[in-house]
Every structure is written in C-alpha cells, then in structure tokens.
Amino acid sequence: MKPQDVVTGKSSLWIFGYGSLVWKPDFKYKRSKVGFIKGYKRRFWHGDNFHRGDDEMPGRVVTLIEEDDACTWGVAFEVTGAQVEESLKYLNVREAVRGGYLTRTVQFFPRGTNQSSVQALLYIATPDNPIFLGPASTEEIAAQIAVCKGKSGHNIEYLLRLAEFMRVSCPEVDDPHLFSIEAALLTTITPILLAAQKPVELL
C-alpha cells in the first residue's frame, strides 16, 4: 500500500510513531496525541545501516510484529493541508528509502476518556526486508546497540530516548522488551563510563 492511497480525497492525516518519531518527528504537524494501537508488539528486530549503524555494523531499531493480544504505545501526529504532502515526502526518504519500512493503516486509540479512535498511517519493517535481523537474546541486542553508530547518531541514544519517552509519557505502561534491553545496555556500559571518569595515574 502506498501512502498516497490513504490520503486520496482527504485534507488531513494521522501518522503513528513508535520509535524515533516519538521524540524526533522532524516534520510540521497540527497536533499530537499519546496513545496506542492494537494487534502489534514493538521489537528491536530491524537492522539499520543508515541512521543508527552502517553496512558493516548495522544497528538495531524497532519495528512492529503482529500479535493479537498485544498493543504498542506511541504518538500520533495529525498533519493537515500542505503538511500532508510535505510529511509524506520527508518520511518516504527517512523511513522507506533509508530504513526499508513499508506503510500500513491501523486504528489509533488516544489515551484518555471520551477519545475516539482514528485511522493512522504507520511505517513497519517486515521479515522479508533484506536488513531485517529478527529475534535475539536481550544481551545480544544490547551488546549490538552499545557499539553501533550511524548518520543520525549512536544506537544507544535511540534506545535510551525511546525508554525515556515511555517512562515520561506512558508511566502506567510496562514494556518488558524495551526496558530489559535498556537495563542490559546500562549494565554493559556503566562500568566503562565509570572507568573513563577515573583520573589517570602517572607512573
């Protein structure tokens, strides 16, 4: 499905973000809402050889895996008027060309009472993508994230900012996959950071 098919005849569009979009959308929008989608779980199973890694050492970023009883929290952005075309043009490069993501439509449920669900566009990487990495142990994923860096920055930043978003914006929501990887990463890098802060002893 192409994004253009979704917006035909519409003057506004909701775009759901569940990874870096939650803290860095980098496109103009009318408003945003925190909420969730049903039927998908967030996993660090997609490879990234541009933003958070390279061809030799691809980083790990999130995608969505279908699971009936799951839900994923994030942010939906409403774009209107000229923002629709501008945002889709930008995201096509950021998510599709450089990230290998496809588009799907889902129902987005804003947090709070008396909130109606809306149809939203999202970007998703599937197992048939050449840089899809698939499952690995928590420790393996954390170790990979710890050493990777791409044109948008360190893979560590991606993980920590996503975890921070969940704690600040969705404090009532537990995300064991995300938080266990964060904990494993901090266990790995904290001794290194502490060692780096120690004064050098001159012989």
| Residues contacting residue 68 through CB under 8 Å, at least 6 positions apart | 39
Residue with tokens 């008396």: 114
Residue with tokens 């990887």: 181
Closest to 5 (Cα-Cα) out of 102, 117, 109, 128: 102
Rounded to whole angstroms, the Cα distance separating 105 from 37 reads 10
The DSSP call for residue 21 is G
Tell me the three state secondary structure of residue 103.
strand
Report CA-CA distances (Å) from 180 to 95, 138, 148, 187, 198.
26, 7, 19, 11, 28
Name the residues annotated as catalytic: 95
Residue type, 67: E
